[in-house]
Structure 1
């Protein structure tokens, strides 16, 4: 790697040289004789505009130090400075020795203690070596000294990323990433236009896609092709993008992969959002997030990888068209301007960039600013089994869980998502392990209902409380979260900040209470600069709580939150039953072009069943919904399937029937043929 001294550094050296030459020309004898000759010279009078003044010299205080004492001091100073330079030159020579070992932690600390002195000595040495036409030697010396900063950064990142929390963000509950990590299936290449469909639809489509059409790629080989500088990795929520980033960085810190990269800087969008009002340079931004790099003034000459995780969470405008051009890493600008210029290649053009995003947000990056697109597809079928076997130490229990998941197609498809595997393992480990009794979940609604109940029962995982939870407080907390989930679902937000919580009537100061009731559902995180970020553990959890909120509002308040505000008063006074709520939900979901309410609809239909309401009896009263209303809803959905030409919408309606556990309806699949099997095994509807 070629070393390039900064322009400002060269200008400083040249300016210093000119100043020294100017001083020496006034000396009666060469300055190199001794330091005494320059320091003992009287300062000449200064005249301005040809006019004199009574006394233009500054009034100097008389020093108590005699000229002889000053000469003695500077003679000793000259000796010490020369000795210091000699010692630094010896150190540099030792560093250039082929058999010299890598820097130790002690040396890293020593380097920081005398950094400013050594930085000056290094600049002089590199400058002189290059003037002597020993550029290669200068480059080698420069790169060896960089390892001091690299060692410090690797140590810091390794400590941060070596452990992983599955849902619960509590010290002592995390696991070593290397022990539980399961390789994800990642493919490369463009997949057409940006897909704005609901991500469960995309998983359905992916599960039917022939593997022969795809080119798999390993995460650590994203930048193997040296012509690729900017990689955009897409993947649905919870599919494993962030964990892939974490493992990628951990492997670098442990020397397992990408060792040609000098520095890796992970900069998640959820934390960059909190910097949107700041005005700073790229170097200032890096120093803010990585304090151990403060002594490093420039990064232009190193191979740097910047990782921007979670583009879908970005709340910066990312105005590629109107933002001003920026090329200097030391020039201040808004964070938005820094990002757009980094991505366009104006700022730090040699840097590698890795951006991760949910599919619907990927179009924020212009196609010409992306060299390679990859997609995290989650777990393949063998990887699903591998995950459960790693997660469940009891082999017999793991096999039992795998068999159960395979018995339900809707559950098994969702297992492409690692977070759903974790939710399923959390529930089934206890139910199949006989720690808790009850009907084993076979639908999504049953699985998430059991998951919610389990979290409520085990809130002492965070607060270490032994007493039973207060039903009233628990209900209020769950419904407050449900309101947040519903409102943010309509806006398409997965992460929330303090102002979002306030809009939903949640006291920010009591946010920990909500995360305490459901430790693994609602997360309160602290950014690197102590800004708070809130989120649900996964989009599907948010959709489940949103459905629970809609159901609660109907049962307790007779309000259909899915009906437009303009008709809300009419809706309040008319006699409404469960069928009205469910049919309006079906209609609204079908009106959505991207299917963002598909999973919400499945959960809402599932919650209408008396069996699921019984599980939630501590949170809400049972409606005692009749079998007639259920059958009426089933017939309405079948009618919509027959008249709906969209395969994706029809498939989701099939799953809705499955959530209603209709005994006369089964969902089958044969290659690309999806069909409903009615009584006497007669196919009543199908879609290709």
Structure 2
């Protein structure tokens, strides 16, 4: 069995050096338990969000340890769900896992690993198998060895590509099956295997793109992991290995950093390969010229490179752009139609009939392997072919090219429900009609699935990009006036109430159109210190958000006062708060309204926030109750995951001088006692909590789930009665409280005595106690 996996990495080199991929995919970000959250953003936006936390501490494991639980976990890990965007390396990861086992490097207690892809299981949709029969069918060695009972062995099943599954995985209605020799449909087999009804001793590893993660019920998954792709240092390492000359590698790395779009996309290994292919050719053919700066130009140049390489491969005359052969032009046009038709249906995998419908000759298509990958599955001598583009973005690129060409050549707008021909003169095609429709459709998309398609479509309207495709486009359709109308339309949309995701994509669209006027206007104001946020238009606010999201310094510590100490500014800049590591919102006139907005931000899976300072505001008790709701409990859970690897686990929340009463303490007590809470530092100083509030807070402190390490109750009207409840809390066996600030209160002699005794108790976690009216004075500090 193991011998068949020794060459498992053959054909995986599209993304560059497999050795480098081995090094990069040695760690996974882990999210323990629960369902995998479905992200409704375009995958490029997800990569952009992930890139902001790529260099921060994450909980990670080796692939070889994927089924090994953390110390103290009572239950074994049976089912692992690994998510990641297209092309990020999920398949490579499972192949590495299998290869390490086959080469006796890892998991030597495992007898069999059975890797399946949903692509090949889709072919079996109408057939019936037993679990044993399915294994025998795909792994004939087991049948030859006479193995008909796998319960005696340690077995791992790998199911790669859940997002490509075309089987009806109905977990609610599927029949229960417990006998591995009983035959049923393949979908019922999978459901019972995943539920643990069939072969409960086996381990399962399922990979998927994020959008399909919720197909597996949460109670069937023991561990959720995520593949994040290249970090910034790993991008550099990739290009330094790819280009051995230091000067050449440094120039390429510097160039990529100048373009936010390119830099974000390089988190995907396949895009690094595309970029390397293009830039290598560009550096060979030009001296000192400008390198591609936009996604559209990069992909056009890659397309041209592939066509030229194809000519060389088949000993034909190398093609210049203006002498593109009719065969090449026809193939690209057919691929574009395929890309657009299947993108509309949401398909990433295609079958032979899909290609035939678009006029693609299979033999000719095999000559263009640089543009898409052909994957074969075998079924007892029956050879079936499946196809996909090298990456989703390439499908979106060719789909946009097809829509652009169709409009230029025929006036037909393929984005219209009822396609009609728009009359225009050959000298001045009205491209802005097409563009406006595309912008509207992208903005209506609930998950941003047209975001990248829109960027490419607009990019094709630039004359420089059309010149690169001169051999493909019989008419250019270039018009500066039409482009200006598109730019103005986008700016008009930016003035409307759009989500941050949609606004950011529109700024990327403006970049593709070579227009950075809005961004430059705000950047000049920031540089000169003359940014007056009270007179900004909505589009200018969006530009400010776009700029701040590109700033590493601002995202490390976002200080609202630098821009405007107002509630209006906070609500405008919420996307920046969500992306920041630390948000300083002290003294900004924030009310309950702000807490409602912050609660939504804090509950987001993509939130990077681990430190929130709301001191010297007026959120009121109702605002704190909102912040302490279930959504914010989810935030503290995220904080734990992000800070777990930091030497000092700090997840601080400051509510100093916020006009709070005992009512807030009830909500905060519930927060502290929540099993998912990881709040470690809480500042409640200078609020009128009184003894009754402290009593309620102490109930949360006594919870075995409370992880609070530092609590400030300075100036909170606490007396002996409140101190007594605190003593009880800090003496509880589950207490993690190390620091307690009771300065500017009235604990009385008995309160001080009891708390001081608690500090001296070796079984008590409390290490530092502050009291008295001069914080930090020798008589007021017990340590």
TM-score normalised over the length of structure 1: 0.71
Superposition map of 1:365-404 within 5 A: 365-404=216-255
How far apart, in 1, do the equivalents of 2:288 and 2:297 lie? 14
Distance 2:150 2:99 in 1: 21
Q: Partner of 2:329 in structure 1?
A: 475
Structure 2 distance, partners of 1:578, 1:196, is: 30
1:539-550 to 2 correspondence within 5 Å? Answer: 539-550=392-403
Paired residue for 2:84? 235
Counterparts in 2 of 1:248-647, with a 5 A limit?
Answer: 248-294=97-143, 295=145, 296-434=147-285, 439-460=290-311, 463=314, 465=316, 468=319, 471-502=325-356, 504-507=357-360, 510-516=361-367, 518-529=368-379, 530-565=383-418, 568-569=419-420, 571-572=421-422, 577-647=430-500
Q: Does structure 1 residue 183 correspond to structure 2 residue 20?
A: no
- Contact 2:174 / 2:191 at 8 angstroms: preserved in 1? yes
CA deviations on 1:155-193 (whole Å, 9 max, x unpaired) are 1111233552317xxxxxxx8734653413621116863
Structure 2 Cα separation of the partners of residues 219 and 424 of structure 1? 28
Name the structure 1 match of 2:5. Answer: 157
What is the CA distance between 1:484 and its match in structure 2?
0.9
Tell me the CA shift for residue 305 of structure 1: 0.6
| Alignment partner, residue 221 of structure 1 | 65
Contact 2:461 2:477 in 1 (8 A): no
- SS at structure 1 position matched to 2:545: strand
| Larger Rg, first or second structure (1 or 2) | 1
CA RMSD, aligned part only?
Answer: 2.8
Gaps of at least 5 residues in structure 2 are 70-74, 527-542, 549-562, 565-571, 577-783
Q: CA deviation at 1:430?
A: 1.8
Structure 1 position 301, deviation (Å): 0.8
* Structure 1 segment 15-94 matched on structure 2, within 5 A: none
Question: What CA distance in whole angstroms lies between the structure 2 residues aligned with 1:154 and 1:247?
Answer: 13
Shift of 1:501: 2.4
Deviations 1:114-150 (A, max 9, x none): xxxxxxxxxxxxxxxxxxxxxxxxxxxxxxxxxxxxx
| Structure 1 residues 191 and 431: alpha-carbon distance in aligned structure 2, compared to 1, 3 A threshold | farther
Going from structure 1 to structure 2, the CA distance change for 1:268 and 1:304 (only over 3 Å counts) comes to same
1:159 is paired with a residue whose SS is coil
In structure 1, what is the Cα distance between the partners aligned to 2:324 and 2:56? 54
Q: What is the DSSP-based 3-state SS (H/G/I as helix, E as strand, rest coil) of the residue aligned with 1:459?
A: helix
Q: 1:645 to 1:163 in 2, by over 3 A?
A: closer
Q: 1:640 to 1:209 in 2, by over 3 A?
A: farther
1:395 to 1:331, Cα distance in 2 relative to 1, 3 A: farther
- After TM superposition, the structure 1 = structure 2 runs for residues 204-215 of structure 1, keeping only pairs within 5 Å, are 204-209=48-53, 212=56, 214-215=58-59
CA contact (8 A) 1:180 1:391 kept: no
Asked whether the equivalents of residues 658 and 665 of structure 1 are also in contact (C-alpha less than 8 Å), the reply is no
Tell me, in whole angstroms, the C-alpha distance in 2 between the residues paired with 1:339 and 1:463: 45
Q: Which structure: greater helix fraction?
A: 1
Is the 1:279–1:335 contact (alpha carbons within 8 Å) kept by the matching residues of 2?
Answer: yes
After the TM superposition, which residues 111-150 of structure 1 pair with which residues of structure 2 at under 5 Å, given as runs? none
Maintained 8 Å contact 2:408/2:477: no
Work out the number of aligned pairs and report it.
518
Distance (whole Å) between structure 1 residues aligned to residue 90 and residue 159 of structure 2: 11
Displacement of 1:451: 0.4
Offset of residue 260 of structure 1: 1.8
Over 3 Å counting, the alpha-carbon distance change for 1:257 and 1:612 in structure 2 is same
After superposition, give the CA deviation of every residue in 1:55-85 in whole Å (9 maximum; x if it has no partner).
Answer: xxxxxxxxxxxxxxxxxxxxxxxxxxxxxxx
- Work out the CA distance in 2 between the residues paired with 1:284 and 1:397: 55
The yes-or-no answer on 1:649 pairing with 2:502 is yes
- What is the CA–CA distance in structure 2 between the aligned matches of 1:673 and 1:249, rounded to whole Å? 47
**Does the CA contact (< 8 Å) of 1:232 and 1:370 recur in 2?**
yes
Do the aligned partners of residues 435 and 156 (structure 1) sit closer, same or farther apart at CA in structure 2, a change above 3 Å counting?
A: farther
Distance in 2 of aligned mates of 1:447 and 1:279:
47
The corresponding residue for 2:587 is none
Contact 1:305 1:351 in 2 (8 A): yes
Aligned 8 A contact 1:162 1:176 in 2: no
Report the CA distance between 1:546 and its aligned residue: 0.3
**Of 19, 34, 37, which aligns to 1:193?**
37
How does the TM-score come out when normalised to structure 2? Answer: 0.62
Per-residue displacement from partner, 1:391-421 (whole Å, max 9, x unpaired)?
3333332222111111111110111111111
Cα separation, partners in 2 of 1:674 and 1:663, compared to 1, 3 Å: closer
CA contact (8 A) 1:481 1:514 kept: no
Shift of the alpha carbon at 1:212? 4.9
Contact 2:55 2:231 in 1 (8 A): no
Does the C-alpha gap of structure 1 residues 201 and 325 become closer, same or farther in structure 2, counting only changes over 3 Å?
A: same
